[in-house]
Amino acid sequence: MRIMGLDLGSRTVGVAISDPLLMTAQGLEIIRRESENKLRKTYARIEEIIASYGDVEKIVVGYPKNMNNTIGERAQKSEQFKEALERRCGIPVVLWDERLTTVAAENSMKETGIRREDRHKYVDEIAAMLILQGYLDYVRAAGPDR
């Protein structure tokens, strides 16, 4: 069993995948879109990745709540993305609070010495890894019933 993590942005989707033991998240790729409302190719690429692994049983999508815990426009788009992804893939999709994930990804890249002008190439993939790793850590701490 594997779990896929996705960081939905306005023009990109960062993709991460867990190892079969559900211990660690690894970055896979960044799916780039022509515009925010064009998702057909994005869904198709996600389906290709799922098929290539064969054992993806759940998808975790970042849920960008506001800092005061309210739901804004970006979070609503994540909800719509979740519903469409469940319909297309037939796999359960979980929304996972991603507040400050992009900030953490930026800080991680600073610490590893990635140049500022190159960080945009990696931020969404790293954010997807952080979202997925947070979920994996939560599930492991919560026990087998989660």
**Every domain of the chain and the residues it spans:** 2-142
Identity of the amino acid at 9: G
Give the residue among 102, 132, 121, 123 at the shortest CA–CA distance from 6: 132
The owner of tokens 């939905």 is 8
Strand 2-8 and strand 56-63: the pairing is: parallel
pTM of the predicted model, to two decimals?
Answer: 0.83
Tokens at 12, concatenated: 């990109």
The answer to whether 17 and 56 are in contact (CB under 8 A) is: yes
Q: Give the pLDDT of residue 51.
A: 95
One pLDDT digit (tens) per residue for the chain, 146 residues: 999 999 998 888 999 999 999 999 999 999 998 777 778 899 999 999 999 998 999 999 999 876 677 777 888 899 999 999 999 999 999 999 886 566 566 666 567 666 666 555 566 788 899 899 989 988 888 876 55
Q: Strand 93-97 and strand 56-63: pairing?
A: parallel
> Of 2, 1, 3, whose CA–CA distance to 94 is shortest?
3
Q: Which amino acid is at 34?
A: E
SS3 53: helix
At 113 the pLDDT is 66
C-alpha distances (whole Å) from 111 to each of 90, 116, 129 are 39, 11, 16
Residue among 34, 60, 75, 70 at smallest CA distance from 127 = 60
Give the CATH fold of the 2-142 domain: Nucleotidyltransferase; domain 5 (3.30.420)
The per-residue pLDDT for 83 is 95
